[in-house]
Structure 1
Amino acid sequence: MLAEKALLGTFLKENHLLHDTIIRPEHFAEGRHRLLMQLMKNIHSKSRAVDSITLALEGDPERYGGLSYIQGLLSYANPVKFEGYEDILLEKWKEREKRNILTLAAQEDWEIDRVVSSLQAMNQARVDDYHSISDEIMNVFDDPWRESKKQSGSLTGIKQFDALTNGFQNGDLTIIAARPSMGKTDVMLHLAKQAGWQHYLPVIFSLEMPSRTITMRLIASTGGFNRGKMRDPYQLLSEPQKERWSATLGKLNETCIQQFDGSSQTVPIMRAKLRKVIHEYPERKPIVFIDYLGLITPNDTYGGNANQQVSEISKNLKAMAKDFNCPVVCLAQLNRSVEQRQNKRPNMSDIRDSGSVEQDADVILLLYREKYYDHSLKDPALELIITKNRNGPVGTAYALYNENTGEMKDVDNQRII
């Protein structure tokens, strides 16, 4: 079957997926594919490369079709569709298992309870989400008498915001929404830098700006350079600014930020790219930033229904945060209705094509600057309005924002690095 060949070919092309997959040899329908899967897992468990040579050395090539068959599997490989192949195999396996259970139940006249429990056990293909209440109770038994380490996520350096949220938490989906040019991309880049300096692995999916533009913005905000001068640093930077250029790049390099700037990306494509980069930096915990929600391509057009498209995307983003156990921070646009109100501070319902965003997000953060609407003001205040916080209080945090450099400071006017 094609899905089995595609999955095995993908394992051959991207060995690291063998570590993540939920597929076991018995999930394959074809006998030689079961043998190949077991052999691949055995070789990978020894931290050795899985290829035609190691497969030939470790097993009998004639049992699974010879080396030419293995080479042919590579033509079916497609890492982007890896999770889809997993789902197909599991569904086919469940269909076979269901038929086997019902046949055996009829032959041996099983009790109905035994049939139901067997079918339920078969449906529990993902065993990594199992938690016994006995084990969980033992984990917390001594908590009243043991000082526990405070679980903080990726901190932002904005004291008021960190006090409300305790940073960005693993498994949480955060939506940061604002009107165009309010500063949301600069906020995202600030958060990415802060995470990197805390030894996280910031992974940016920039669906709007090319990586060159993102990089120049990062340099400007880190070095305090006016973005207008970044168009031609040779001509426009002063000598003192040029003297701190190298130190700025060195500081920025410590963040280990990873960028993907392809347009029209789906969540499954982003998952595949994230999975690969995680394996390249196993010592760092990932945190994902996406710019922005409205540019993510849905898997289905839903007849052009934007709300349904956004609902699918937000559910998939939440699933990505949970499955990878990392924070996912996604930018979003606010609709124009904000401009028509006298009080232009945004509300959660102002998120464009909100769909199920309000339900799926753990934290919703709205940005507001008074100066955005009144250019005569000199006030650099940026309001970070937390309108939803599933695991904490809501409220407003304040920062100082320099729209010329993209730099953010805490309200005490301290640089946040």
Structure 2
Amino acid sequence: MKRYSGLVVSLVVLGSIMVSIFASSNSSHAEATTKSAGSFFDVKSNFWAKSSIDYAVSKGYLKGVGNGLFKPDAPVTRAELAAVLSRVSINTENQVNGEFPDLAGHWSKDEVNRAAALGFFKPIDFPNGFKPTQKLTRTEMAKWMVHGLAAHDADFGQALKDTADTLVPVAEYYKGGLNKLDYPIVSVALGTGLMTGYPDGTFGTGKTTTRAEVAAILMRYESIQTKAANSYRDLNEMRALATQGTNLEIITPYVIDPVKKFTNILNKKISTRNNIGTLKLKRMVVVDYNKSKQMKGVYAPLFVDKTVTGSDEYFYTFSEVSFTPNVDKLEENTFVNGSSLNIASSMGIRAPEAQRKYGILSIEPEWYPSIFKKGIESTFWVGYWIKRNNDPKSNSIEGDIYTIDGGFTTIISIPRESKKI
């Protein structure tokens, strides 16, 4: 059957044959009545994905299921998404090693093979068979699409490597449900805007994917595959946090000295006053949260909420630290004033709504007896700030960041740079 775009096509279908809604033009399935964009009875004018569905249908990426229906909330199978991706991709086909033995005679065989040749997945990824009728999870969909981007642009592949151990801004990161192997997959999907999370902060890793969601994501994928990986600020933040130890350069006008790198002080012993314990800085997140309570930065929702006062004078910093006390019954002021490295030895986050949503562990005075035990290491987040506009006569942030490790001093200078943010 020839594929039409943007035309209302009325087809008479004989019998009650159930067909694949994603089947290609050479599919062995008979196709049900195919509605063109804007004419599905079950996609109302106020449906959240109507424009995306209309677009996907007009481009020939998706079809209706017959009887004037689109079934936007129906789940998507592996075979169906593979067929769609084989149509939308601009990748170059490459030789594929291996095959999918359980696709013999299946309508999707040619399109699944083409999707593999385009780089979305490999036969080796499915040791137990492709299982074409298996419903697709959001994580699996993200994996296929992100690998498709990486097959087209090497920098997307580098982004996957860069975010292998980053902080992923979803609730499953701390609360559980996100496999570490999927950190880079979800990071690239979120960082490019290919996929978004849910209002409760979750990514929905194990949830199945609906036809409406696929339509919306296809529009984004079509655009993203023509752009550079480094053109996405959110993704750049996540890459920088993993490779530099901080997203400071992405969010603020400051830049880190290329010689006196921020990574020089990560996981190094930081001197504490009165030898109260061993303090180490693991990473630092910078958030732009102004007085009007407007957030900037992919990590902002994790650390600030409406209970936090915004500032036009400071950028907020949040540092993940590990601390091993040398004493019991440590008091808050003793820890807060325990080091001259203010970004590491400071108060807790104090953003209860954000903490409940994302599960980030901070410190509260009432928790001290339980988490500050002599000889026991604890990892948590603390909050501080840096000036938005530093002294123009100064070449660095007030109070250069430094640490002392065995008598060796590392000075981290962060000079101003005239650039737009």
Tell me: higher relative CO, structure 1 or 2? Use CA pairs within 8 A at least 6 residues apart.
1
TM interval, short-chain normalised: under 0.3
**TM-score, normalisation: structure 2:** 0.26
